[in-house]
Amino acid sequence: MTQSQLDPTPRPATAGATLLEVDDLHVEFRQRSGVVNAVNGVSYTLAEGETLAILGESGSGKSVSAQAIMGILDVPPAVVRGAIRFEGRDLLQMSEEDQRQVRGPGISMIFQDALSSLNPVYSVGWQIGEMFRVHQGASRKEAKQKAIELMDRVRIPAAAKRVNDYPHQFSGGMRQRVMIAMAIALDPRILIADEPTTALDVTVQAQVMDLLKDLQRETGMGLILITHDLGVVNEVADRVAVMYAGRIVERGTVDDVFTDAGHPYTEGLMNSVPQVEAKGGRLQPIVGQPPNLAAIPSGCPFHPRCARRRLGAEAAPGRDCAVDVPPLRLVAPGREAACHYSEEVLGV
């Protein structure tokens, strides 16, 4: 399958070879109460040096799809289908051992809450150094030395002094830097950042995002940024994929999507954010609740909350929002949206 079929959005000029191709990814959790369809046919690609933002609210499947790429969805056990090709090799077809060796040097991940994501009983130096000890067989001493270098690189002050400190002795921003140091230790080709700044103060958020961008410039790694923060997306991402109910509902370059949304859900997201120009006006929330992933609505999963929905006689043939599932389709050059009436939303 060619890249353009999976993901036709134009790339930035700086982007290099394709690193990752996610092809029709499905993730479901089988529980006693029923099947939870967390991810329902997601496809995207990521190139070297590129930043792809995956935007969505809680329960949209953005984190789960990232964890499926990492292959760390075993508690609770998930069923993962589709293909995840990293440098051409399908991770889902690999042995567990081969997959494990991709984690760290190939793809690595940082998480939202650095305090709970770091092990409280080991020093940060030990935890960073573990990457070298396990993947490269480094000695304790070498590992510690490299940990200090990494802590320097992510701009943790007095790294040599703090290498033996424990996670709880660091501030939130410094802890996230420790996570980043650990994730970039083996120069991964891809870094997945799952809400890396959500738990941080605004000023610290900016510092951490700057650090990630600088590291990306140095190493040329591909960055997948999972977030619900539109501001972060606008600042750092090249392209954006908006997820809803485990599907990508809209995709394009950040400039395009943010200028003129092609899906009512994206439109709703943009309207729910305060804007300088619209000072004094009221924010418009998206009415209703995110869908229950164990019982996703028929047709377009967004239709119960959509102001533009057309049902029954109102709808064009084969485009009833409550019946027909809208495919993700090209709606403008380099723009895709999964809405029957996307052209209206775009206002073309």
Partner 1 sequence: MDTGPPTCAGPHPRGNMGRYVARRLLLTIPVLLGASVLIFSMVYALPGDPIRALAGDRPVSPAVVKVLTERFHLDDPLWIQYWEYLKGLFQGDLGTDFRGRPVLDTIERTLPVTIRLTIVAVVFEIVIGLTAGVLAGIRRNSFFDNLVLVSTTVIVSIPILVLAFLAQLTFGLKLGWFPIAGTREGWYGYVLPGLVLASGSLAYVARLTRTSIAENMRADYVRTAKAKGLPRSRIIVRHTLRNSLIPVVTFIGADIGALLGGAIVTETVFNLPGIGREVFDSIQAQEGAVVVGIVTLMVFFFIFFNLVVDVLYAVLDPRIRYD
- In the 8-state DSSP scheme, what is residue 298? S
Instruction: Please say which residue, 101 or 139, places its beta carbon nearer to partner 1.
Output: 101
Dihedral sign (CA 183, 71, 27, 249): positive
Instruction: Please say which residue, 32 or 282, places its beta carbon nearer to partner 1.
Output: 32
Exposure of 77 in the CB half-sphere (CA atoms within 13 A): 3
Residue 78: CB minimum distance to partner 1, A = 13
Binding pattern for the stretch 177-196 against partner 1, x by CB under 8 A and - elsewhere:
--x--xx-------------
Structure tokens at 70: 């990492």
**Which residues from 161-180 bind partner 1, rule CB under 8 A?**
165-166, 168-169, 179
Binding pattern for the stretch 195-234 against partner 1, x by CB under 8 A and - elsewhere:
----------------------------------------
Is 118 an interacting residue with respect to partner 1 (CB under 8 A)? yes
Instruction: Please say which residue, 113 or 142, places its beta carbon nearer to partner 1.
Output: 113
Per CB under 8 A, the list member of 87, 113, 229, 260 interacting with partner 1 is 113
Per CB under 8 A, the list member of 33, 88, 121, 137 interacting with partner 1 is 121
Is 31 an interacting residue with respect to partner 1 (CB under 8 A)? no
Number of residues in contact with partner 1, rule: CB under 8 A? 34
- Amino acid identity at 292: N
Residue of 180, 172, 171 whose CA lies nearest to 147 = 180
CB 191 within 8 Å of CB 222: yes
Per CB under 8 A, the list member of 46, 52, 55, 70 interacting with partner 1 is 70
Instruction: Please say which residue, 103 or 305, places its beta carbon nearer to partner 1.
Output: 103
Range in contact with partner 1 (rule: CB under 8 A) among 45-53, 65-73, 80-88, 246-254: 65-73
**Which residues from 240-269 bind partner 1, rule CB under 8 A?**
none
Residue of 280, 256, 282, 279 whose CA lies nearest to 271 = 282
Structure tokens at 172: 């939130």
Is 131 an interacting residue with respect to partner 1 (CB under 8 A)? yes
Per CB under 8 A, the list member of 83, 94, 135, 213 interacting with partner 1 is 135
Per CB under 8 A, the list member of 74, 274, 282, 312 interacting with partner 1 is 74
Range in contact with partner 1 (rule: CB under 8 A) among 48-56, 63-71, 196-204, 313-321: 63-71
- What is the CA 91 to chain-centroid distance, rounded? 18
Sheet arrangement for strand 78-86: 34-47, 18-31, 78-86, 89-90
Task: Enumerate the H helices of 272-328 as residue ranges.
Answer: none
Residue 42: CB minimum distance to partner 1, A = 19
Per CB under 8 A, the list member of 100, 140, 161, 329 interacting with partner 1 is 100
Is 139 an interacting residue with respect to partner 1 (CB under 8 A)? no
Count of CB atoms situated within 10 Å of the CB of 71 = 18
Instruction: Please say which residue, 102 or 300, places its beta carbon nearer to partner 1.
Output: 102
CA distance 43 to 26: 10
- Amino acid identity at 163: V
CA distance 85 to 43: 11
CA distance 175 to 162: 12
Residue of 62, 64, 106, 55 whose CA lies nearest to 85 = 106
Q: How far is CA 258 from CA 227, 239, 330, in A?
A: 15, 10, 17
Dihedral sign (CA 223, 64, 20, 256): negative
For partner 1, the binding residues (CB under 8 A) are 67, 70-72, 74-75, 100-105, 108-109, 111, 113, 116-121, 123, 130-131, 134-135, 165-166, 168-169, 179, 182-183
